[in-house]
Structure 1
Amino acid sequence: MVKRLILVLGDQLSSGLTALREADRDTDLVVMAEVADETGYVPHHPKKIALVLSAMRHFAEELREDGWQVAYTRLDDAEASKSIVGELMRRGQEHGTTDVLVTRPGEWRLLGALENAPLTVHMLPDDRFIATLDTFEEWADGRKELRMEYFYRDMRRKTGLLMDDDKPAGGKWNYDHDNRKPAKEDLRRSEPMRFTPDEITQDVLDLVDARFGDNFGTLRPFWFAVTRTQALRALDHFAKNLLAGFGDFQDAMLQSDRFLHHSVLSPYLNLGLLGPLEICERIEAEWQKGTVPINAAEGYIRQIIGWREYVRGLYFREGPDYPERNVLGHQRDLPWMYWGGETGMNCMAHAVAQTREEAYAHHIQRLMVTGNFALLAGVDPKQVHEWYLAVYADAYEWVEAPNTVGMSQFADGGIIASKPYVSSGNYINRMSDYCGDCTYSVKDKTGDKACPFNLLYWHFLHRHRDRFSENPRMGNMYRTWDRMDADRRDTVLHEARALLARLDAGETV
């Protein structure tokens, strides 16, 4: 007889999950389910759906081999419910129990569904993170500004990573100043490790192709890791072959190299196949051996124990309405170019094409190309949020919404970012080779060939002057604008408005 149902969600594929630690193999039943509500609440990239479903199926097999009873529902099962709660109720009726044990979900949407379910749900904390939600609340309580840098330092002290007693290794907490170098083509540079789909994954690919073939995104070739063993191999490959150059070139972009020195481990970390501390300890070990410089090790560790932990804390602190925020009042629809529509902007074309084919783009492509354009153009941040949530393999709302709504679109009013991350085309030109092959000229500030980033940058500052002119980090921008000849300012604003009108009319920009 089954005593309890143990729910394991698709991003909880960790053998040390709290719900599994508290469960009894002899009397409890693990419930895993592929359901329509989870595959369809946004139009997910087919690669993302395939990654999650294949990883789930492999994890279920591993649990069975470890002695667990597992009730697994496939998306195409005739009896399948549309929702997680529906599957719990179906399994509960089959086995005569209403007791459910679950590790806290990472999204408000699922939290609400489980809390309102007609079942007895026992929710355990998710301790796969370094900072508990209570720890974050204690850190945040009473602070006027919740800046990541100070939280990150506490996480360094807590973990002991890159610490020399109570001081940061190398004498500095942050080496970001050293991590802004443009990259050149290098035929010797490795790529992230690729894996050949096995029979389980091939079955998933066929299912996803049949059901989600019209979604934005290319399904094949599919090369993601789908098991913990594969994810550990991917970590090892990154640490040995790519980490050393990560710091220097983490902000760089190249047309011919989509990955540069990035690890592409975030999909596996956010699924639960890897843990944050084990990744960081491996990174630290490479630095201790002298195989990588400290700016590479520190820059990577900061992304995980600093930024990732910080945005999770903020997501839950700010509440379920966070993705709806729009303090700048932006209302423009997401341009069709984000879904693969034609554009003359080479940087946007490359970032979107890479996203379509890989379900991946690195943080600068997301922040300073696609995110920057959406913010400058005044696109509705909820539409931007839903796009990022849909198209990236590592996107789950707890990590994606703060990065998009807060960091990228400044729609939370500055909770995360002290200023909006906007730039003209100069930044993209400095950090990439995109501009040389573009229809537009990054050097032209006005005229038919002027880079849209150049025009929209000043238009953004002009229309939001009341909000940002007193921001100490933006004073130089406004002083530069004010020194321009009045006729030139009028020309910039006129041409920016004309460009936005073309966007609104669905014309190619």
Structure 2
Amino acid sequence: MKIGIILGDQLSLNVPILQHLDKFEDRLVMAELADEATYVKHHKQKIALIFSAMRHFAAGLQDAGWQVDYYCYGDHDFSGFEALLAACYGEAEAVLVTRCGEYRLQQRIDECWEQESGIPVTCLDDSRFLCSPAFFRQWAAGKKQLRMEFFYREMRRYTGLLMEGDEPAGGQWNYDSNNRQPYKGKTPLPPVLHFERDDIDEQVLALVEGHFADHIGSLDDFQWGTTRKQAQQSLDHFIAHRLPHFGDYQDAMVTGEDTLFHSLLSPYINIGLLDPMAVCQAAEQAYYSGEAPLNAVEGFIRQILGWREYVRGIYWLLMPDYEKENRLGNQRPLPAYYWTGETKMHCMAECFRNTIDHAYAHHIQRLMVTGNFALLLGVLPEAICQWYLEVYADAFDWVELPNTLGMVMHADGGYLGSKPYAASGSYINRMSDYCKHCQYNVKTASESDSCPFNSLYWHFIHRHRKQFAGNHRMKMIYGNLNRMDTAKVDAILARAESLLADPDAL
């Protein structure tokens, strides 16, 4: 008898081990383990989503004739798979597992599972991604600097998505310049998709509330789908109601509107309930059938085919050294409001509210608000990386770490992005209505009520002049700084220093 391990982010019928096992002779093992649920203090909704999705997936496998041993949290004493395998499956001839998404766990599989259980372990490559680590290594070989745009074009050619012969659909590879409109309320917002909760959902929600009460977040407004059918309904809903306007407003932010036209599909893709290629093909079909414009479809596909695959490639190319990068030398702790949401900065408070209530915030809220502020403040990269990993339902180390450490914090020295995504409050004001509701003044940088983003932005630019003054993409910024009156610069820096002295007071 062979044992097949299915991890909580491998809930796909295309998971490779299913092709190598006999449903009548072998057994599948799934387990809700303390090691995985608590190595960081994951948001309650993230744990609930994964546990409920695991239980639904296991039930589906059993209905299909597989022999499944399922270990529910609280019903066993095994903290990790090594102990479980040694205690329950010592007579097995082999253990099969699909390579996981996190270096931390993959290292334990490679170094500990077989040694501690005494059972031979075979690790199969995860075929559910569109770019294998080997393909990415081959593409990256010999390049002094990697750029996502060129990788994305290679993946378009490789997959044929939005390609017309050898040329990109519409004659351009990238329509990002069309996708930066603020939302003014003229376009009706899409309807909200609701799911009925079954007994499995209710049992898991009660379990999470009881066992993880000290974790961030609330379960009061748990809206995630937990089955493959519900994930597919979410995809269909996005294509019909959100994708047509996704491109125009993908960077927009509005007080009280937590999702706008975003897909909400990343958690389902990342745990296996949706196949990334099928998601891209559904969006592509919407373009060719005239249901969605090219700028929206291309922008959406780029997020999956481009950024998602690109950051995974970088993760497996550079780990484990990558997670230790801190090229800007940042050391500050995260302010307390990253967990409480209690801050006078309205933009930050809105993003924290969304995060705490839903284990969600869209990419601009993460990159240009909470992430941008951590960059300007000089937060220790490890601290902000762990926070993102904890609080978002779609956060797994392979996708979260490069995005946060590289794109948000520029801690890798520009390996992932050619310039830091630092911005003043002007960007937030342009793309949202947040500043209209804030007690800080987004028009000034040196006054006692000036927007903290403004003061800290120029402090960041000033203190990192040595690193960035020679960056051609920042030439205009340093030109503006050099033309500022010395007294004005001093006043801005003094205001910033007062903020840095007590960031928790903001």
The answer to whether TM tops 0.5 is: yes
In the TM superposition, what is the alpha-carbon distance from 1:189 to its structure 2 partner?
1.5
**DSSP 3-state at the match of 2:473:** coil
**DSSP 3-state at the match of 1:71:** strand
Matches within 5 A, 1:407-446: 407-446=407-446
Q: Which amino acid aligns with 2:421?
A: Y
1:319 and 1:132 map into 2 onto residues whose CA distance is 15
1:369 and 1:260 map into 2 onto residues whose CA distance is 17
2:103 and 2:272 map into 1 onto residues whose CA distance is 18
1:494 and 1:427 map into 2 onto residues whose CA distance is 22
Could you tell me which residue of structure 2 aligns to residue 51 of structure 1?
49
In the TM superposition, what is the alpha-carbon distance from 1:86 to its structure 2 partner?
2.0
Could you tell me which residue of structure 2 aligns to residue 86 of structure 1?
83
**DSSP 3-state at the match of 2:79:** coil
Could you tell me which residue of structure 1 aligns to residue 68 of structure 2?
70
Worse overlay, 109-118 or 299-308:
109-118
Q: Which amino acid aligns with 1:283?
A: A
In the TM superposition, what is the alpha-carbon distance from 1:186 to its structure 2 partner?
5.5
Instruction: Report whether the alignment pairs 1:321 with 2:321.
Output: yes
Worse overlay, 97-106 or 178-187:
178-187
Q: Are the aligned partners of 1:406 and 1:417 in contact in 2 as well (CA < 8 Å)?
A: yes
2:179 and 2:187 map into 1 onto residues whose CA distance is 21
Could you tell me which residue of structure 2 aligns to residue 264 of structure 1?
264
Could you tell me which residue of structure 2 aligns to residue 36 of structure 1?
34
Kindly provide the CA deviation profile for residues 398-446 of structure 1, in whole angstroms up to 9, marking residues without a partner as x.
Answer: 0010110010011111111100000010000000000001010101121
Could you tell me which residue of structure 1 aligns to residue 106 of structure 2?
111
Kindly provide the CA deviation profile for residues 73-132 of structure 1, in whole angstroms up to 9, marking residues without a partner as x.
Answer: 11111x330112222222313xx1252101101111111111122231101000001111
Give ranges in structure 2 of 5+ residues lacking alignment: none
Q: Are the aligned partners of 1:31 and 1:88 in contact in 2 as well (CA < 8 Å)?
A: no
Percent identity of paired positions between Structure 1 and Structure 2: 51
Counterpart of 2:13 (choices 8, 12, 15) is 15
Matches within 5 A, 1:311-390: 311-390=311-390
Matches within 5 A, 1:185-334: 185=185, 188-334=188-334
2:110 and 2:304 map into 1 onto residues whose CA distance is 29
1:435 and 1:217 map into 2 onto residues whose CA distance is 25
In the TM superposition, what is the alpha-carbon distance from 1:191 to its structure 2 partner?
4.2
Q: Are the aligned partners of 1:192 and 1:264 in contact in 2 as well (CA < 8 Å)?
A: no
Q: Are the aligned partners of 2:341 and 2:352 in contact in 1 as well (CA < 8 Å)?
A: no
Computed over aligned residues only, the root mean square deviation of the Cα atoms, in angstroms, reads 1.1
2:194 and 2:125 map into 1 onto residues whose CA distance is 33
Give the TM-score, by structure 2 length. 0.97
Could you tell me which residue of structure 2 aligns to residue 174 of structure 1?
174
Give ranges in structure 1 of 5+ residues lacking alignment: none
In the TM superposition, what is the alpha-carbon distance from 1:289 to its structure 2 partner?
0.7
Q: Which amino acid aligns with 2:198?
A: D
2:93 and 2:490 map into 1 onto residues whose CA distance is 67
Counterpart of 2:92 (choices 94, 97, 100) is 97
**DSSP 3-state at the match of 2:89:** helix
1:411 and 1:91 map into 2 onto residues whose CA distance is 44
2:361 and 2:395 map into 1 onto residues whose CA distance is 11
In the TM superposition, what is the alpha-carbon distance from 1:324 to its structure 2 partner?
2.2
Could you tell me which residue of structure 1 aligns to residue 23 of structure 2?
25
**DSSP 3-state at the match of 1:473:** helix
In the TM superposition, what is the alpha-carbon distance from 1:166 to its structure 2 partner?
0.3
Alpha carbons of 1:253 and 1:341: their partners in 2 closer, same or farther (altered >3 Å)? closer
Alpha carbons of 1:213 and 1:380: their partners in 2 closer, same or farther (altered >3 Å)? same
Report how many aligned residue pairs link the two structures: 501
**DSSP 3-state at the match of 1:474:** helix
2:194 and 2:448 map into 1 onto residues whose CA distance is 43
In the TM superposition, what is the alpha-carbon distance from 1:341 to its structure 2 partner?
4.7
In the TM superposition, what is the alpha-carbon distance from 1:354 to its structure 2 partner?
0.6
1:254 and 1:270 map into 2 onto residues whose CA distance is 26
2:211 and 2:196 map into 1 onto residues whose CA distance is 22
Q: Which amino acid aligns with 2:497?
A: R
1:33 and 1:441 map into 2 onto residues whose CA distance is 51
Kindly provide the CA deviation profile for residues 323-350 of structure 1, in whole angstroms up to 9, marking residues without a partner as x.
Answer: 2211111000000110125211000000
In the TM superposition, what is the alpha-carbon distance from 1:144 to its structure 2 partner?
1.3
**DSSP 3-state at the match of 2:283:** helix
1:464 and 1:413 map into 2 onto residues whose CA distance is 12
Q: Which amino acid aligns with 1:85?
A: E
1:282 and 1:41 map into 2 onto residues whose CA distance is 36
Could you tell me which residue of structure 2 aligns to residue 483 of structure 1?
483
1:147 and 1:16 map into 2 onto residues whose CA distance is 30
1:439 and 1:91 map into 2 onto residues whose CA distance is 60
Matches within 5 A, 1:455-474: 455-474=455-474
In the TM superposition, what is the alpha-carbon distance from 1:222 to its structure 2 partner?
1.4
Give the TM-score, by structure 1 length. 0.97
2:191 and 2:98 map into 1 onto residues whose CA distance is 34
2:281 and 2:82 map into 1 onto residues whose CA distance is 37
Worse overlay, 217-226 or 257-266:
217-226
In the TM superposition, what is the alpha-carbon distance from 1:220 to its structure 2 partner?
1.7
In the TM superposition, what is the alpha-carbon distance from 1:266 to its structure 2 partner?
0.3
Alpha carbons of 1:306 and 1:341: their partners in 2 closer, same or farther (altered >3 Å)? closer
In the TM superposition, what is the alpha-carbon distance from 1:152 to its structure 2 partner?
0.5
1:341 and 1:432 map into 2 onto residues whose CA distance is 19
Q: Are the aligned partners of 1:346 and 1:438 in contact in 2 as well (CA < 8 Å)?
A: yes
Q: Which amino acid aligns with 2:197?
A: P
Q: Which amino acid aligns with 2:71?
A: T
In the TM superposition, what is the alpha-carbon distance from 1:291 to its structure 2 partner?
1.2
Q: Are the aligned partners of 1:192 and 1:259 in contact in 2 as well (CA < 8 Å)?
A: no
1:156 and 1:341 map into 2 onto residues whose CA distance is 40
